[in-house]
Amino acid sequence: MTNGATALGAKAQIDFQCLDDGCDGVVKFNLSDVASRDFQAVCPKCHRTYALDSDLKDKLVRMMNLVAAIRDSEDVLGDSNVSVNVAGGSVKIPYALLLTRLNTLITLKYGDRQVDFHLWIEPSSPDTFR
């Protein structure tokens, strides 16, 4: 579990809209911080704290490990493309471009609510778009 946190450093951030009615704050934290036993996220506007239950923590830690695995496979993914069918043929989109330009969103259950968590990942190197 700590291998993913070490591999990520501070390059992956996750955020979600505060769940308090009337608060428009965005709760942000580093994905690697979730592995900490005493992790809590705090809304910067209303200061509500969010403790994550074991199921939610487990899913976010697995997401962190997935991001670490993608980083580890960057050289392979740099040679990979996603093909999109369009009128008259297909267009190849470099996989690395998709990873850095599309917003990653994971919808998970927090208590009795479905919450959209946005995941922001920085490219690990300037060679990502070689």
Residue 41 within a domain: yes
Structural domain count, the chain: 1
> Strand 12-17 vs strand 113-121: parallel, antiparallel, or unpaired?
antiparallel
Residue 115 within a domain: yes
Q: Is 43 exposed, middle or buried (0-12, 13-18, 19+ CB in 10 A)?
A: buried
For 92, the domain range is 2-122
| Contacts with 110 (C-beta within 8 Å, 6 or more apart), sequence order | 19, 50, 52, 56
Residue 127 within a domain: no
Per residue of the chain (130 residues), give pLDDT as tens: 444 444 454 468 889 999 999 999 999 998 888 888 888 999 999 999 998 888 888 988 898 888 888 778 878 877 888 898 999 999 998 877 776 666 778 898 888 889 999 888 765 555 544 4
Separation of alpha carbons 56 and 76, rounded Å: 30
Residue 129 within a domain: no
pLDDT at 90 (0 to 100): 93
Handedness of CA 63, 17, 116, 50 (dihedral sign): positive
Is residue 115 within 8 Å of 122, Cβ to Cβ? Answer: no
Residue 52 within a domain: yes
